[in-house]
Amino acid sequence: MATAKALFFLGFVFLSCNLIGVSGVLELRGSFIPIIPNEGPAIFDVTKFGAVADDMTDNIDAFRAAWGQACKNSTIQAKVLIPAGTFRAAQTMFAGPCTSPKPITVEVIGTIKANTDLSEYVSPEWFTFLEIDGFVLTGKGVFDGQGAVSWPFNDCRQTNGNCAPLPSVSIFLSLKFDKVNNSMVTNITSLNSMQFHFHLHGCNNISLFNLNITAPGNSPNTDGIHISSSNGIKVFSSIIGTGDDCISIGHSTSNITITDITCGPGHGISVGSLGKRPEERSVNGVTVTNCTFVNTTNGARIKTWMGMVPAEAKNITYEGLIMNGVQNPIVIDQSYGSKTLRTASTSVWKISDIHFRKIKGTTVSNVAVSLQCSILNPCEGVEIADVDLAYAGRLANTTFISSCLNAKAIFGGILNPPAC
């Protein structure tokens, strides 16, 4: 038990440099998480509630029962344990608010496999964690979305546009965190999601680290982590390889920190896409540092639709990045979603205070820096500094260039390719 307590303490220290220990209490940005010195967590093993690790039985009732007891009926910190073995589970939800002492932990040791009967999903989430304050998802287990069964039905490129999102919803995802605050996710593997692996929505102060997120490079819409309508999210020290964005930062977000990510295959680390729907609001404060991109289609990218309601994407920094064989290392695309190639953007979104710094490596495109901004709202305050990329594509004797349109960019330091 002493080891478990130490792990809890160390895990929460990683959450924020603002943690303060006072009289056995951790202060986590206004949320107080008690550390009970002489008692380990109460263990709620799902097999004690009827779960069977036979790779056949649907275990959602046992999972929910164990969660209900841990969340509501423990007088000490509680842990739901999913032990070694392969457990099947259909769509399920772990919902708060919880009344047991914080944090509530779910530790996954085994493998959880999604139900592949798509008709049984009534909403787009496989696992939902809802309205929990002080939550830990940990263990070295696997969430296997078994996405291969659904990918052929969702790949518009292979069905000539006759594709239907699964299952009759906009985006299907493995793990959704909805209104979860002051929490962390660590050491989990997400494998072959049907579409998004992780989606954080309406969340505050969550750290995700030491994750392994994996899907084939040709699997459609399998974003690693998508963040929307959230504040104070940290993602670090993880390996992500998917068929879409490794990490995508959606609308209405602020204070997002991403560092030490290995991305590839995939579409890079993107801010956006933004502006597709009228309810989408501004993005302010995104920092991406010390990440490596391997054979991705994009590296550092900001993308907006033309949009219907004006908003902003500002205070965004990509710094200290390594590109290995990346197709489009640095991109601002304000014509995202346009069916006409090279359409001049009339996006109502304003992009400003953007920094691409200390980026090096190789690209297979002769246009390594592409800043394609809006005619109505030219990009302002875009810095390109110490970008040292080498062309490693197949074209011989090609010109290695930067391309700028409606971008008020400032170039400095080492510049390969040269400035616009």
Residue 52 shares a structural domain with residue 118: yes
**Cα distance between residue 240 and residue 289, in whole Å:** 15
**Cα distance between residue 120 and residue 34, in whole Å:** 39
**Which residues, 6 or more positions from 7, have their beta carbon under 8 angstroms from its beta carbon?**
none
Per-residue confidence (pLDDT) for residue 40, from 0 to 100: 80
Per-residue confidence (pLDDT) for residue 149, from 0 to 100: 85
- Provide DSSP, 219-259: STT--SEEEES-EEEEEEEEEEE-SS-SEEE-SS-EEEEEE
Q: Are 15 and 207 in contact (CB under 8 A)?
A: yes
What are the respective helix, strand and coil percentages of the chain, to the nearest 5? Answer: 10, 50, 40
Per-residue confidence (pLDDT) for residue 14, from 0 to 100: 39
Residue 10 lies in a domain: no
Q: Which of 53, 245, 76 is nearest to 141 (CA)?
A: 53
> How many domains does the chain divide into?
2
Residue 148 shares a structural domain with residue 271: no
Residue 398 lies in a domain: yes
Per-residue confidence (pLDDT) for residue 2, from 0 to 100: 38
Which domain does 354 fall in, by range?
255-419
Q: Which of 163, 293, 284, 164 is nearest to 217 (CA)?
A: 293
Residue 240 shares a structural domain with residue 335: no
**Cα distance between residue 147 and residue 371, in whole Å:** 35
Compute CA distances 107 → 93, 136, 299, whole Å: 16, 8, 33
- Provide DSSP, 376-391: SS-EEEEEEEEEEEEE
Give catalytic residues, as residue numbers.
267
**Cα distance between residue 102 and residue 11, in whole Å:** 13
Last residue of a domain, one of 244, 275, 293: 244
**Cα distance between residue 215 and residue 128, in whole Å:** 20
Tally Cβ neighbours within 10 Å of residue 245.
29
Residue 265 shares a structural domain with residue 203: no
CB neighbour burial string for 167-201, b if at least 16 within 10 angstroms, e if fewer: beeebbbbbbbbbbbbbbbbbbbbbbbbbbbbbbb
Looking at the DSSP bridge assignments, the partners of residue 133 are 181
Residue 212 shares a structural domain with residue 348: no
Per-residue confidence (pLDDT) for residue 304, from 0 to 100: 96
Verdict on whether the full-model pTM lies above 0.95: no
Last residue of a domain, one of 244, 266, 282: 244
Residue 272 shares a structural domain with residue 217: no
Residue 227 lies in a domain: yes
Q: Are 418 and 402 in contact (CB under 8 A)?
A: yes
Q: Which residue has the tokens 């295959």?
A: 265
**Cα distance between residue 202 and residue 308, in whole Å:** 23
Per-residue confidence (pLDDT) for residue 365, from 0 to 100: 96
328-333 sheet: strands from edge to edge: 92-95, 125-130, 173-178, 196-201, 225-228, 247-249, 269-274, 298-304, 328-333, 367-372, 401-405
Residue 313 lies in a domain: yes
**Cα distance between residue 220 and residue 159, in whole Å:** 12
Q: Are 321 and 287 in contact (CB under 8 A)?
A: no
Residue 184 shares a structural domain with residue 291: no
**Which residues, 6 or more positions from 128, have their beta carbon under 8 angstroms from its beta carbon?**
92, 93, 94, 95, 176, 178
Last residue of a domain, one of 213, 244, 275: 244
Residue 232 shares a structural domain with residue 266: no
Q: What are phi and psi of 314, to 5 degrees?
A: -145, 165
Compute the Cα dihedral for 6, 12, 15, 17 and give only its sign: negative
**Cα distance between residue 345 and residue 334, in whole Å:** 6
> Kind and range of the H or E element at 323?
strand 311-326
Residue 1 lies in a domain: no
Per-residue confidence (pLDDT) for residue 124, from 0 to 100: 83
Residue 56 shares a structural domain with residue 104: yes
DSSP letter (8 states) at residue 202: S
Residue 108 lies in a domain: yes
pLDDT (tens, 9 = 90+) of the chain, 420 residues, equals 433 433 443 344 334 433 333 223 333 333 334 344 446 899 999 999 999 999 999 999 999 999 999 999 999 999 999 999 999 999 999 999 999 999 999 999 999 999 988 778 888 899 999 999 999 999 999 999 999 888 887 655 554 544 544 443 345 789 999 999 999 999 999 999 999 999 999 999 999 999 999 999 999 999 999 999 999 999 999 999 999 999 999 999 999 999 999 999 999 999 999 999 999 999 999 999 999 999 999 999 999 999 889 999 999 999 999 999 999 999 999 999 876 656 789 999 999 999 999 999 999 999 999 999 999 999 999 999 999 999 999 888 899 999 999 999 999 999 999 999
Give the pair of three-digit tokens for residue 275: 């502006």
Residue 283 shares a structural domain with residue 396: yes
Task: Tell me how many helices (H) and strands (E) the chain has.
Answer: 3, 33
**Which residues, 6 or more positions from 97, have their beta carbon under 8 angstroms from its beta carbon?**
131, 132, 133
Residue 116 shares a structural domain with residue 207: yes
**Cα distance between residue 419 and residue 113, in whole Å:** 50
Residue 273 shares a structural domain with residue 385: yes
Residue 25 lies in a domain: no
Per-residue confidence (pLDDT) for residue 171, from 0 to 100: 53
CATH number at residue 68: 2.160.20.10
Residue 230 lies in a domain: yes
